[in-house]
């Protein structure tokens, strides 16, 4: 999506944190929210893409974007990045806990403890830290919307052989989102979790295949057209539209929801 002039301006005066903003779903969502008037704090590991996006968005609307070099699994850096966001934009309204990696893929007995812990720390601890440091600022506003990116893997799909660390984090994010939704409801902070199927992004760059993977794969023949609705993987923009809806007051009575966005992929697998 190119950052053109917005059709809707429903986020004027609002600030959003987007983790994993430098690529894929996070990038598309940052553009979408900025086009709709939000100030956007772009959290990502050091990379040119994130700073290039900051420049692009600041051309769209002066000073609406702030790129921050942050590893979401690092508690001190996360706390500092949330503080910088609030200092710069004056508060926080929307949090998209989206950063994630595929991580190590292989037979359980071949995975090292550090393989396991790395995926846990980015996908699950990173989600926890994102919420932990954001919640006090959402409470100050008296309302807020949190959206967490899980996956169909680990929730409605279990046939990705060797993906046990990834799938475990994605199942954990759903439980965490629902616990948080109930805990935060009285503060008018909504928490919803989205479960994408295959989306065309750069996520494969974060996959580390173990060479023993072949030993555990059960050959499955998928029917042609694994995502029947789209006849192929979804686009990051498709997910960004959903996140934008969940961030907005148009979804004011929706919390604790687990929303699949997969073009019917998980119904086939």
Closest CA to 26 of 56, 59, 49: 49
Annotated catalytic residue 166: yes
Minimal distance in Å, beta carbon 61 to ligand NAD? 22
Residues within the interface to ligand NAD (CB under 6 A): 19-20, 22-26, 43-45, 47, 70-73, 98-101, 122, 126, 149, 151, 196, 198-199, 201-203, 206
Q: How many CB atoms lie within 10 A of CB 217?
A: 12
Minimal distance in Å, beta carbon 142 to ligand NAD? 28
Task: Give the residue ranges of DSSP H helices in the chain.
Answer: 24-35, 48-60, 75-89, 113-119, 126-141, 164-184, 236-247, 265-268
Minimal distance in Å, beta carbon 188 to ligand NAD? 26
In the complex with ligand NAD, which residue's Cβ is closer, 138 or 198? 198
Catalytic residue among 11, 96, 128, 166: 166
Rounded CA-CA distance 116/102 in Å is: 11
What's the DSSP call for residue 190?
Answer: E
Minimal distance in Å, beta carbon 45 to ligand NAD? 5
39-76: burial string, b at 16+ Cβ within 10 Å, e else: bbbbbbbeeebbbebbebbbebbeebbbbbebbbbbee
Q: Which residues are catalytic?
A: 166
């Amino acid at each position: 999506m190119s950052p053109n002039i917005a059709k809707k301006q429903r986020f004027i005066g609002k600030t959003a944190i987007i983790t994993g903003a430098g690529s894929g779903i996070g990038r598309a969502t940052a553009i979408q929210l900025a086009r709709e008037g939000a100030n956007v704090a772009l959290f990502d590991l050091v990379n040119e893409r994130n700073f290039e996006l900051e420049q692009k968005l600041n051309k769209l609307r002066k000073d609406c974007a702030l790129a921050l070099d942050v590893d979401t699994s690092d508690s001190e850096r996360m706390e500092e990045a949330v503080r910088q966001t609030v200092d710069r934009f004056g508060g926080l309204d929307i949090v998209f806990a989206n950063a994630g990696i595929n991580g190590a893929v292989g037979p359980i007995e071949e995975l090292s403890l550090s393989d396991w812990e790395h995926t846990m720390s980015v996908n699950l601890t990173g989600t926890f830290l994102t919420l932990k440091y954001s919640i006090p600022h959402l409470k100050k506003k008296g309302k807020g919307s949190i959206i967490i990116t899980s996956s169909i893997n680990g929730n409605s799909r279990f046939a990705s052989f060797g993906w046990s660390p990834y799938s475990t984090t994605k199942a954990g994010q759903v439980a965490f989102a629902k616990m948080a939704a109930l805990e935060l409801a009285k503060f008018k902070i909504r928490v919803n979790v989205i479960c994408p199927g295959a989306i065309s992004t750069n996520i494969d760059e974060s996959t580390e295949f173990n060479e023993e993977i072949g030993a555990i794969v059960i050959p499955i023949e998928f029917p042609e057209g694994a995502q029947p609705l789209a006849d192929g993987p979804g686009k990051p923009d498709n997910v960004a539209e959903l996140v934008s809806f969940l961030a907005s007051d148009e979804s004011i009575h929706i919390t604790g929801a687990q929303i699949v966005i997969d073009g019917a992929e998980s119904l086939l697998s």
